[in-house]
Amino acid sequence: MLLALAALLCIASGFFLASVGWARRTPFASDILWRASMSVGYGLGIFSVSFFFSRVCGIVHLAAMDLLIFGFLLVSLLLFRSVFRTPIANEIEPTMGFDGPPWLSRFLKSAFAIALCVAAYATILRTLAHPSGDGWDAFAIWNLHARFLFLGGAHWRDGFSSLIPWSHPDYPLLLPAAIAHFWTYLGHEDRSIPAVISLCFTFGTVGLLFSSLSLLRGSTSAMLGSLTLLSTPFFIAQGTSQYADVPLSFFLLATVVHLCLHDRDSADGHASPGVLFLAGVSAGFAAWTKNEGLLFLCAILAARALIFLRPRLTRDASSSLPPVRLRENWSTLAPLLAGAAPALLLVAGFKHFLAPPGDLFSNSGVMMHKLLDPVRYWVVVKWFAKEFLLFGHGLIPCTLLLIGFYFASGRGERRETTAGFRTSRLAMIFTLAGFFAIYLITPYDLYWHLRFSLSRLFLQLWPSVIFLFFVALPPGMTGPSQNRLKMILMP
């Protein structure tokens, strides 16, 4: 009974948060799937933050605190809607995206249904085979931190001691705190909780990708994008491993989706600052999930600022671009910063007051020496290229599939991209550059570090890359492009 109450409060809190600023009528199926996917991810993020806050402040009555947060979100949503609600337009129609022949739609529906069933079957089998997670990090980092938070009592801070550096005590706590929150309602540790949370993030990512592409580009693009993700064996494997990489990929995708939705609504005068606020919330939750999420948060803020300052920086006497107004720039950055600020403050407080220093930046002299070593650059470049060409752990690398589809869909046509798309694309580049820099200065053996982490770093960005790829596809395919795709899909 208490567990059902916890699940209801979690999903309802996430639903109210996800509903902020969403003031447009949308197709019912896409809308309900979008809200359900966002509700699960946001709800788990809220539960994580509330549990950590209760631990720090010594609050014992967790259920009362959850009800208080639930009421606060409900009132905030009503107030926000009454102040910032934009006029509701007619039902939103997806912008013309990739559209194939009728046979392709029937084929994709069948393939998508089969892939979804196979993925569900595979995740259930893997979860039953590895109920405590599959891999060292699940046991020694994420679930161990959850056990310290839940079982530690007054000594829960001992789990973040520098005496156990192998557990990475400086890692953020979204996943462990969410697990400990549900264990508190149960009154005992249960291995099924982290397993269920992992599955929620896995299929929540698929649902978010499908529903967002359906809203923006139509059902055909949605099925193709989701089929690409479901057909990535490494994504399914990591989704059941109880690592934090798939939860991080969910929040990265949510950030990118909200930026693209806001700029799409801006084109017809129905944009709401609440959508940008949710993009900031998603980026903040990403920073509270893993250290790579903090890198992405910095990348998205830098990219957003650069995109809107670029006209001023590049304008010359012959340019026809109008000067950028500071007020307009601030109106696009302020909601994003407001949404990210709470989690950013939380991460900063955790890093400063509780967690020991990280292991990557321990010796500045050694770091500088490694940065000046050209051999390390060549090694990292080779591993990045190899991972790009082999990513997915499937029979056919997933990246090569997207490249083939790009050429088949008519590469000569171009779609006019929005500021949200350009911001997201630039943030991905900044994030990859950050990954590259970390490998250059890593205190660990470079080959070992690349071997056991690079594929997971690529996976964190993979759902967002799929989303941006199908958003950028040329509108429609006819003639030679359609014939080329038919040869690819039905040899």
For the stretch 102-136, pLDDT in tens is: 777 788 889 999 999 999 999 999 999 998 888 89
CB under 8 Å to 337, separation ≥6 — which residues?
280, 301
Q: Could you give the CA distance from residue 454 to residue 464 in angstroms, rounded to a whole number? A: 17
Only one residue has tokens 């321990």, namely 362
What is the distance, to the nearest Å, from the Cα of residue 371 to the centroid of all Cα atoms in its chain? 30
Q: Report pLDDT for 100.
A: 59
What is the distance, to the nearest Å, from the Cα of residue 6 to the centroid of all Cα atoms in its chain? 24
Label residue 319 by pLDDT band (50, 70, 90). Answer: very low
* Mean local confidence (pLDDT), 429-458: 94
DSSP structural state of residue 418: P
pTM score > 0.85 for this model? yes
Q: Report pLDDT for 74.
A: 81
Residue 77 pLDDT exceeds 80: no
Label residue 53 by pLDDT band (50, 70, 90). Answer: very high
Contact predicate 464/208, CB 8 Å: no
Q: What is the mean pLDDT of the chain?
A: 84
Structure token digits, residue 362: 């321990």
DSSP 3-state percent helix, strand, coil across the chain (nearest 5): 75, 0, 25
The rounded percent of the chain whose pLDDT value lies above 90 is 52
* Mean local confidence (pLDDT), 136-146: 94
Q: Report pLDDT for 380.
A: 96
* Range scoring the smallest mean pLDDT among 213-217, 293-297, 308-312, 476-480: 476-480
Contact predicate 339/284, CB 8 Å: yes
**19-54 burial: b if 16+ Cβ within 10 Å, else e:** bbbbbbebbeebbebbbbbbbbbbbbbbbbbbbbeb
Q: Could you give the CA distance from residue 488 to residue 442 in angstroms, rounded to a whole number? A: 42
Q: Report pLDDT for 480.
A: 44
Q: How deeply is 266 buried, as exposed, middle or buried, from its count of CB atoms within 10 A (0-12, 13-18, 19+)? A: middle
CA nearest 170: which of 356, 363, 438?
356
CA nearest 29: which of 211, 255, 240, 252?
211
Highest mean pLDDT among 267-281, 389-403, 448-462: 448-462
Residue 268 pLDDT exceeds 70: no
Structure token digits, residue 215: 């809203």
Contact predicate 383/450, CB 8 Å: yes
DSSP structural state of residue 165: G
DSSP structural state of residue 90: S
Q: Report pLDDT for 21.
A: 64
Contact predicate 288/346, CB 8 Å: yes
What is the distance, to the nearest Å, from the Cα of residue 270 to the centroid of all Cα atoms in its chain? 25
Label residue 329 by pLDDT band (50, 70, 90). Answer: low
